[in-house]
Amino acid sequence: MEEAIRRTVLPNGIRVISQRVPSVYSLSLGFWFKVGSNDESKGQNGLAHLLEHMTFKGTRNRSTLQIAQDIESIGGTINAFTSRNATCYYVHLLNEHLPTGIEVLADLVQYPVFDNDELEKEKQVILEEIREIEDDPGSAINDYFDRQIFPDHPIGRPILGTIETVESFTRDNLLEFKSKYYTADRMVVVGVGNLEHEHLVDLVEKSCSDLPQHSPKTNLEQPKPIKERSQIQLREISQGHLILGRRIFPRTDRRRIPLSLLNTILCGGMSSRFFQNIRNRHGSVYDIFSFYDLFLEGGIFGIYAGVDANKMNKMKGLILKELEDLSKDGITEKELQKAQEQAKGSLVISLESMFARMNRLAQSIMLDKSPLSIQEALERIKRVTVDDINTLAQYLYQPEEFIETIFLPTNGAKNSSAGK
Cα–Cα dist 37/177, whole Å: 12
- Contact between 282 and 315 under an 8 Å Cβ cutoff? The reply is no
Check residue 135 and report its DSSP letter.
Answer: T
CB neighbour list of residue 105: distance below 8 Å, 6 or more residues apart: 29, 31, 78, 89, 90, 91
Cα–Cα dist 265/285, whole Å: 18
Distance of CA 241 to the CA centre of its chain: 22
Instruction: Give the angle 83-161-368 at the CA atoms, nearest 5°.
Output: 20
Between helix 171-181 and helix 47-54 the angle, nearest 10°, is 90
Count other C-beta atoms under 10 Å from residue 70's C-beta: 20
- Residue 52 is a catalytic residue: yes
| Candidate list 52, 122, 322, 404, residue with the active-site label | 52
Cα–Cα dist 180/187, whole Å: 12
Could you list the beta-strand ranges (E) of 34-180: 77-82, 87-94
Phi-psi group of 114: left, alpha or beta (phi > 0 → left; psi -120 to 50 → alpha; rest → beta): left
The catalytic site residues sit at 52
